[in-house]
């Protein structure tokens, strides 16, 4: 799918399939841009004496050597990663809270048969019923694949299985046409690898070779659990097929380029440009045969993948699709399937030693499948209207500060600034929850049919997307549920979105010092605003259209500045021999840099020209940057960090906290000196927005 929605944090941290990160309630201290110094908070903040946990600091570390360690070093030492997590930090802390609250809601709902959320949750936590069925729920899927006696028939089966979430070499969905954003279009992209990324197949690093070996064992195990013979040899043939797919797929850096990935194909173009795959059968089976125009993100990968498909024996292709289906559905089958899938996907690839409790996984399932049904009850209990109003006010303050940043730019032409200001003025902020909730009344949920529930719910959502085609743009739709710990920017909608659950400590606390709130949720808001002006979002105008609205000189100067940021992050080496990919993480790094800058401007405006109070010996600026660093307190398992560095557009948490090294006010606040590790001369500091 096209990269039009960008998240605050790494997807590995989310409590649902789509994402990862934070949630809950705002403050009277979020004052208008013209206000004076905020009054003292009415109550005690949740963290520390002013909203920041000073006991988590490591004052033996100089801020100029490692601000992340200075702000959070003791917290990292005293907060080991739980056995059921690949990482642990502020996002996961809030995810745990959201999960507990959701459990109470779901268990109460489960006492009334006929409740969708209660019945779906009950179908998952009833392990005895699931275990008693063994591999039986898989049989219809495997039988349908076996019934495909030709490659065209198998292509059609891939299309049918796409409707229930089974991946194949191509993925398909519905989104805005980036160059005609009032119109929906079918968007397609490369897909279908069983390992996290092409690099896992193609690179020779010892850890990646180890992952490939473990992957072969996992696939062999899946064959055995499904009652299919000769698993080891069949697994190797499937891996050889996937390796050929990996060889023709685009890198993640190229795949995030909005212009490169905008390629409109007419329906006949598929057969002409990517022969060897029955596109008519595939598109008909997915339900989009009537469409005449499609967006294809990686054309050469489509050409190459179709050729690989054509050159691969049918039995291998069928085994490949069976394994993709078994892996997809393993978490909803009997315990041997669950254990096998967890051992590879979580323990091997992310280093997580222990699966989450079944009830926690049940909560995640409900949130991922029918999350707005759950969210409706959640916000009524945990997100009061005044919280939404306070968050709205803070968003306005940070947007105003971003406008000031645009006005002050020296590298942007005046005529482009006018257009940038118009884009900012057209922003829409969605706070907490949708104004109109999704209607799931046509979805059938049965307590004794877990896998069927998952398949029906996935197909329901797939059909809901297809039904958008030919209809007016739905600007009320949300891409996250209220209980999700994250936030996002949507380029095509020109919007920023903050679910209810992220609006709580450490991001926001109504009783915290305003400096900490601006450094926390204020910088998160700034991050999402800034995404609309990052290397990709900046190519979309005030209407959400992908177009050239900058002068050529603006573009050249912007690329020179972003090139400096790429080079800076390329130097970071979180694991021996494995660096941050500055090109892959560029959008997020711009979001951090510009978002923190805008939030600082909003905080300074909120002071109304008066000095901030000194609290616990710390100035307002010092507390502001500590508020930012506290958000990124996090410990990672090595395997999870490796996967993040290879696949994730977000930099690791330490580098995100240390982005402060580019900000002049941070130097004034903490007095780092030349020779310290984070110190940059004024000329070396990257300033973009």
Tokens 């009997």 locate to 334
Peptide bond before 406: cis, by omega within 30 degrees of 0? no
CA 105 to CA 99: how far, in whole Å? 10
The string of pLDDT tens digits covering residues 612-658 is 999 999 999 999 999 999 999 999 999 999 999 999 999 999 999 99
- Percent of the chain at pLDDT exceeding 70: 95
Element (DSSP H or E) covering residue 634 = strand 634-636
pLDDT the model gives residue 572: 98
The string of pLDDT tens digits covering residues 77-92 is 999 999 999 999 999 9
pTM for this one? Answer: 0.93
Distances (CA, A) of 161 to 32, 271, 306, 365, 540: 51, 21, 18, 19, 34
pLDDT the model gives residue 40: 41
Q: To the nearest 10°, the Cα dihedral for 195, 196, 202, 206?
A: -90
CATH 1.10.1380.10 domain position(s) in the chain: 141-332
Element (DSSP H or E) covering residue 200 = helix 199-202
- Three-state DSSP class for residue 578: strand
CA 119 to CA 100: how far, in whole Å? 18
> What sign does the dihedral 219-220-223-226 (CA atoms) show?
negative
Whether CATH 3.40.30.10 fits 141-332: no
Residues 6+ apart with CB under 8 A from 623: 50, 52, 513, 515, 516, 519, 612, 615
Element (DSSP H or E) covering residue 165 = none
HSE-CB of 23 using CA atoms within 13 angstroms: 31
CATH 3.40.390.10 domain position(s) in the chain: 5-101+385-434+478-670
pLDDT band at 5 (very low <50, low <70, confident <90, very high): confident
pLDDT band at 435 (very low <50, low <70, confident <90, very high): very high
Q: Which CATH class is domain 5-101+385-434+478-670?
A: alpha beta
Strand 488-490 to 5-7 pairing: antiparallel
**Is residue 451 over pLDDT 50?**
yes
Mean predicted confidence (pLDDT) in 477-491? 97
The string of pLDDT tens digits covering residues 354-379 is 999 999 999 999 999 999 999 999 99
Task: State the burial class of residue 576 (Cβ atoms within 10 Å of its Cβ: 0-12, 13-18, 19+).
Answer: exposed
Mean predicted confidence (pLDDT) in 273-289? 98
The string of pLDDT tens digits covering residues 459-480 is 999 999 999 999 999 999 999 9
> What sign does the dihedral 128-132-137-138 (CA atoms) show?
positive
The string of pLDDT tens digits covering residues 580-599 is 999 999 999 999 999 999 99
Among candidate residues 461, 360, 342, 335, the one with its CA nearest the CA of residue 15 = 360
**Is residue 352 over pLDDT 70?**
yes
pLDDT the model gives residue 177: 98
Phi/psi for 241 (5° steps) reads -65, -45
The string of pLDDT tens digits covering residues 389-427 is 888 889 999 999 999 999 999 999 999 999 999 999 999
pLDDT the model gives residue 391: 86
CA 136 to CA 334: how far, in whole Å? 10
Mean predicted confidence (pLDDT) in 544-551? 97
- Token readout for 259 is 């212009």
**Is residue 28 over pLDDT 70?**
no
The better pLDDT of the pair 10, 548 is held by 548
**Is residue 536 over pLDDT 80?**
yes
Strand 264-266 to 293-296 pairing: antiparallel
The side-by-side arrangement of strands in the sheet containing 428-432 is 5-7, 488-490, 495-499, 428-432
> What sign does the dihedral 541-547-549-550 (CA atoms) show?
positive
Phi-psi map region of 544: left, alpha, beta (phi>0 left; psi -120 to 50 alpha):
left
The string of pLDDT tens digits covering residues 245-277 is 999 999 999 999 999 999 999 999 999 999 999
Average pLDDT, rounded, for the chain: 94
> Are residues 171 and 190 in contact, defined by beta-carbon separation less than 8 angstroms?
yes
CA-based R_g, the chain, Å? 25
- Three-state DSSP class for residue 400: helix
pLDDT the model gives residue 42: 58
Residues in the chain: 689
**Is residue 12 over pLDDT 70?**
no
């Amino acid at each position: 799918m096209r990269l039009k929605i960008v998240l605050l944090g790494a997807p590995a941290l989310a409590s649902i399939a789509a994402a990862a990160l934070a949630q809950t309630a705002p403050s009277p201290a979020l004052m208008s841009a013209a206000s004076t110094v905020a009054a003292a908070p009415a109550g005690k903040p949740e963290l520390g004496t002013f909203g920041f946990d000073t006991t988590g600091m490591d004052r033996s570390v100089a801020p100029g050597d490692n601000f992340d360690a200075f702000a959070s070093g003791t917290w990292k030492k005293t907060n080991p990663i739980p056995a059921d997590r690949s990482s642990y930090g502020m996002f996961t802390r809030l995810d745990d809270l959201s999960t507990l609250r959701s459990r109470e809601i779901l268990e109460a709902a489960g006492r009334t048969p006929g409740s969708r959320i209660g019945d779906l949750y009950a179908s998952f936590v009833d392990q005895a019923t699931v275990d008693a069925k063994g591999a039986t729920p898989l049989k219809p899927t495997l039988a349908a694949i076996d019934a495909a006696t030709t490659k065209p028939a198998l292509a059609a089966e891939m299309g049918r299985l796409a409707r229930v979430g089974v991946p194949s070499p191509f993925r398909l969905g519905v989104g805005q046409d980036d160059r005609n954003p009032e119109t929906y279009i079918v968007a397609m992209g490369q897909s279908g690898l069983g390992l996290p990324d092409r690099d896992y197949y193609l690179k020779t690093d010892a850890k990646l070779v180890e992952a490939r070996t473990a992957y072969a064992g996992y696939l062999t195990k899946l064959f055995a659990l499904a009652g299919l013979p000769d698993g080891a040899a069949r697994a190797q043939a499937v891996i050889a097929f996937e390796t050929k797919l990996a060889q023709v797929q685009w890198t993640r850096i190229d795949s995030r380029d909005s212009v490169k990935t905008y390629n409109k194909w007419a329906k006949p173009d598929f057969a002409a440009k990517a022969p060897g795959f029955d596109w008519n059968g595939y598109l008909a089976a997915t339900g989009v045969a009537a469409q005449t125009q499609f967006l294809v993100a990686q054309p050469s990968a489509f050409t190459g993948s179709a050729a690989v498909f054509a050159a691969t024996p049918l039995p291998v292709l069928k085994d490949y699709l069976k394994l993709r289906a078994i892996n997809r559905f393993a978490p909803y089958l009997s315990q041997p399937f669950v254990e096998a899938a967890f051992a590879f996907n979580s323990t091997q690839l992310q280093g997580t030693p222990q699966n989450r409790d079944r009830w926690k996984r049940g909560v995640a399932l409900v949130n991922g499948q029918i999350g707005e049904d759950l969210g409706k009850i959640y916000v009524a209990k945990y997100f009061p209207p005044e919280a939404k109003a306070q968050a709205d006010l803070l968003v306005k303050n940070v947007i105003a500060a971003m406008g000031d940043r645009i006005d002050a730019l020296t590298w942007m032409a005046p005529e482009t600034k006018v257009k940038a200001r118009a884009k900012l003025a057209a922003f829409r902020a969605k706070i907490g929850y949708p104004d109109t909730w999704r209607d799931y009344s046509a979805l059938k949920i049965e307590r004794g049919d877990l896998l069927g529930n998952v398949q029906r719910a996935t197909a329901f959502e797939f059909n809901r997307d297809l039904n958008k085609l030919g209809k007016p743009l739905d600007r009320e739709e949300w891409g996250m549920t209220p209980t999700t710990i994250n936030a996002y920017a949507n380029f095509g909608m020109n919007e920023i979105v903050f679910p209810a659950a992220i609006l709580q400590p450490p991001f926001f606390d109504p009783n915290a010092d305003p400096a900490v709130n601006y450094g926390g949720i204020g910088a998160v808001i700034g991050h999402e605003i800034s995404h609309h002006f990052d290397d990709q979002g900046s190519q979309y105008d005030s209407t959400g259209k992908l177009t050239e609205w900058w002068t050529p000189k603006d573009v050249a100067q912007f690329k020179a500045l972003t090139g400096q940021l790429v080079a800076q992050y390329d130097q970071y080496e979180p694991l021996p021999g494995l660096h941050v990919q500055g090109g892959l993480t560029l959008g997020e790094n711009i979001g951090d840099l510009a978002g923190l800058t805008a939030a600082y401007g909003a905080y300074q405006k909120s002071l109304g020209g008066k000095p901030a109070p000194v609290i616990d010996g710390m100035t307002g600026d010092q507390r502001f940057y500590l508020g930012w660093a506290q958000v990124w307190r996090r410990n990672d398992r090595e395997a999870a960090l490796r996967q993040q560095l290879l696949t994730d557009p977000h930099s690791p948490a330490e580098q995100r906290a240390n982005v402060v090294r580019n900000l002049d006010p941070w130097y004034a606040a903490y007095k780092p000196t030349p020779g310290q590790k984070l110190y940059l001369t004024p000329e070396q500091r990257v300033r973009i927005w």
